[in-house]
């Protein structure tokens, strides 16, 4: 369904081609499992048109390769991506030009726009966070708070916005949270059990007090997630951890307005679930 040249570009972007194929086919089936009734009634079967996918607002682009996959799934091969993913754009920027069967273009339109608008919204929002923490060594990281079925694409969009990915799945390292600690009995016991069961795996543990932080550091944990700590408490946590090898990640209560303040405390990461669960879409349209 997808041309070898596009397959190569998708794989070079770090995306799984089978997943892209499946998600695109699924989305198209959801939108037009019985065809486009309006287009069949109003447009000649052999009509040809030219069209452009264009931004309505400024932002950072992501999802052009997915939109191209949608076009190809609809039988459109005469298109050109004009703006690469990860590019900052202004309103009126042409992202993709296309020429082909008019019915096919309209069949692809909404699904292609849904993918591009959603993913570009994430990359745009991520870029805003990254800009806020510029000048510090803190990195903006996503979470697993993603749309079911779209995690790989959404985390790709985070990368396009300059952010970094945390775990893709539950098998990508251990993240011991409050419920794990409660079930195990203590921070130390939870960490000990993970080390015993999965030696060598990277371990991150969530703490909500400086006393828990000290306990975690004594176990030689890799990363400590500081849950809902204020600025001053976070500064104290950085000071306590300065002689350890553990990295620190702030989480909870983070907003664009205080991102710089948290990053300036010296933490290594800001965990921002909002990158994927609350990013507004970027307005993109299709014009004939």
Pairing of strands 48-55, 284-287: antiparallel
Mean pLDDT of the chain: 97
Cα–Cα distance for residue pair 226/190, rounded to 1 Å? 17
- Clarify whether 206 is annotated catalytic: yes
pLDDT digits (tens, 9 = 90+) for 63-116: 999 999 999 999 999 999 999 999 999 999 999 999 999 999 999 999 999 999
Which residue in the list 72, 132, 152, 227 is annotated as catalytic? 227
With cut-offs at 50, 70 and 90, classify the pLDDT of residue 34.
confident
Cα–Cα distance for residue pair 117/270, rounded to 1 Å? 25
Cross-strand bridge partners of residue 203: 174
What pLDDT was estimated at residue 214? 97
278: left (phi over 0), alpha (psi -120 to 50) or beta: alpha
User: What secondary structure letter does DSSP report for 62?
Assistant: -
**Residue matched to tokens 């695109």:** 24
Which residue in the list 177, 211, 239, 255 is annotated as catalytic? 177
- Clarify whether 227 is annotated catalytic: yes
Helices (H) and strands (E) in the chain, counts: 12, 12
- Clarify whether 177 is annotated catalytic: yes
Domains and CATH numbers, the chain: 4-122+280-287 (3.90.1170.20), 132-277 (3.20.20.70)
pLDDT digits (tens, 9 = 90+) for 190-242: 999 999 999 999 999 999 999 999 999 999 999 999 999 999 999 999 999 99
């Amino acid at each position: 369904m997808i041309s070898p040249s596009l397959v190569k570009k998708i794989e070079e972007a770090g995306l799984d081609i089978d997943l892209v194929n499946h998600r695109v086919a699924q989305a198209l089936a959801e939108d037009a499992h019985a065809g486009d009734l309006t287009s069949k009634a109003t447009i000649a079967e052999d009509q040809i048109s030219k069209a452009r996918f264009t931004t309505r607002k400024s932002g950072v682009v992501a999802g052009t390769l997915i939109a191209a996959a949608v076009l190809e799934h609809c039988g459109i091969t005469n298109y050109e991506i004009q703006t690469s993913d990860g590019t900052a754009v202004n309103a009126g920027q042409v992202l993709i030009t296309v020429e082909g069967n008019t019915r096919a273009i309209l069949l692809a339109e909404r699904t292609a726009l849904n993918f591009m608008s959603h993913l570009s919204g994430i990359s745009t929002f991520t870029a805003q966070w990254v800009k806020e923490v510029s000048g510090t060594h803190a990195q903006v990281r996503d979470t697993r708070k993603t749309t079911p079925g779209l995690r790989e694409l959404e985390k790709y969009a985070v990368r396009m916005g300059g952010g970094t990915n945390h775990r893709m799945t539950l098998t990508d390292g251990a993240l011991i949270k409050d419920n794990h600690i409660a079930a195990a009995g203590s921070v130390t016991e939870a960490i000990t059990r993970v080390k015993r069961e999965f030696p060598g795996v990277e371990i991150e543990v969530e703490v909500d007090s400086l006393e828990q932080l000290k306990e975690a550091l004594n176990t030689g944990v890799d990363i400590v997630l500081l849950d809902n700590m204020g600025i001053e408490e976070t500064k104290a946590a950085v000071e306590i951890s300065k002689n350890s090898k553990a990295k620190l990640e702030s989480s909870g209560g983070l907003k664009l307005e205080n991102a710089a303040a948290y990053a300036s405390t010296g933490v290594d990461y800001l965990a921002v679930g909002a990158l994927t669960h609350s990013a507004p879409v970027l307005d993109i349209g299709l014009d004939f």
